[in-house]
Amino acid sequence: MNSTQPYIPRANAQSITGDQYKSSVYADLKIWWREIDRVLLFLILLLMAFGTAAVAAASPASARRLSTAAVQLPDLYFYWAHLRWQFLGLITLLGASLLSRDNARRLGILIAAAMLGFLVLVPLIGHEVNGARRWLKLGMSFQPSEFLKPGFAIALAWILSWRLRDPHLPVLAIVTVLMGFVALLLMLQPNLGATILFGGVWFVLVLLSGVSVQRIAGLIALGVAGVTATYFLYGNARNRIDAFLGGGTAFDQVDLAQRTLLSGGWTGSGLWLGVRKLNLPEAHTDYIFSVIGEEFGLLVCAMVVILYLAIIARVLVRLADEENLFALLAGAGLVTQICGQAFINILVNLQLFPSKGMTLPLVSYGGSSTIAVCLAAGLLLAITRRNPFLTRERPGLRNVLSESVLKRNPQGEGNTP
């Protein structure tokens, strides 16, 4: 065939018109709406709506606390800023949820690789705030660890799923080394709270991948040794743990958070009527759950907790019949990352966990962190997409758990004749 021969379109060839393009986009959106977990999407949007009201309640306290004689911030400064970030976050969430499962995996791996590179730069050129070097300023200020969270869960799920192609691949060793590398970079900042969260995601995925009882015991011992070493080597963590074990004082921020949380009673003092929140540091971020308790009451706090539990339950139900090992592990990792961070934040506000600089996902005010958590939620929606007309031949999560039990107790069925 002559390569210099000019291309002549066929007589029946047709170009795509504007109407055809619109029809194609409409068809894609119909497929997305059919496959997306609409219950999970509703729960996520409901939490974001709670976040809007909560930031409106907390904004005056933080604005007055951060105002100076030269610059007076308006009471709703953080509320209006939160609305802008939430709008960008919502676009990110919906855009990520439109991805196919394969494209969500590719995006997660690319994010993990890029953020690991940025994390290496943080100790060298990072921006220091309150004694911690966690931020990079590259056009905008952001924490690479926040964006690494969803990428880390997806990358670990991808690596662990390799065992289906070759059971002899040392996937456990690979993800353990990766976890150790991330923990080292985080502790150089230092960021103990994020290290604990990443370790929790790693442990859940390793547990679901089906390891023996001996290895699980070894991993638990490794975690205990790591926390013990941190206590003796990291002064800030030691002080916070000592304050937590000692019960705190009236001037301790965790004690202030608990007092603020309980001061509203069951029904709260009412929007903008709270007084104790004015003494809280980071009322719009780390301690927003306490502001919810004071102004909206313990009943609304319970509703927030129930919403996070409902998200976990919904994802588990969705994964119960999932046959794809990567999707099962990635979905479990992402929901562990989002809700694990939420429960750490809530426990800190209840004075049941040492103080950590960790926001309440989908609720707290945040700039780039809002985009990061919305990205994680969007990827979770993309991973759990499913054609409702396809039937599953075998259970997903139930099958993995039963296989894990058999591996840990191979003689379990041999006792019966």
Q: What is the pLDDT of residues 336-350, one digit of tens each?
A: 999 999 999 999 888
Q: What is the pLDDT of residues 274-291, one digit of tens each?
A: 888 888 888 888 899 999
**pLDDT surpasses 70 at 414:** no
Cis peptide bond prior to 190, omega within 30° of 0: yes
Q: Which two tokens stand for residue 58?
A: 């907390």
Q: What is the pLDDT of residues 207-249, one digit of tens each?
A: 888 766 677 777 777 777 777 777 666 666 666 666 656 655 4
Looking at per-residue pLDDT, the higher value among 292 and 136 belongs to 292
> Could you give the percent of the chain with pLDDT greater than 70?
81
pLDDT, residue 251, reads: 46
pLDDT, residue 379, reads: 96
Of all residues in the chain, what percent are helix, strand and coil, respectively (each to 5)?
A: 65, 5, 30
Handedness of CA 349, 352, 358, 361 (dihedral sign): negative
Q: What is the pLDDT of residues 65-87, one digit of tens each?
A: 888 878 888 989 999 999 999 99
Please check whether residue 57 is in contact with residue 271, taking contact to mean a CB–CB distance below 8 angstroms: yes
Q: What is the pLDDT of residues 101-117, one digit of tens each?
A: 999 999 999 999 999 99
Mean pLDDT, residues 37-45 taken together: 95
Angstrom distance (rounded) from CA 333 to CA 329: 6
> Could you give the percent of the chain with pLDDT greater than 90?
41
pLDDT, residue 268, reads: 84
Mean pLDDT, residues 147-170 taken together: 90
CB-based burial of residue 290 (10 Å sphere; 0-12 exposed, 13-18 middle, 19+ buried)?
A: buried
Angstrom distance (rounded) from CA 398 to CA 320: 6
Q: Which two tokens stand for residue 257?
A: 């958070």
DSSP string, 171-209: HHHHHHHHHHHHHHHHHTTT-HHHHHHHHHHHHHHHHHT
Lowest mean pLDDT among 22-36, 171-185, 282-296: 22-36
Domain boundaries defined on the chain: 37-385+393-408
**pLDDT surpasses 80 at 417:** no
Average pLDDT along the chain: 82
Angstrom distance (rounded) from CA 371 to CA 82: 11
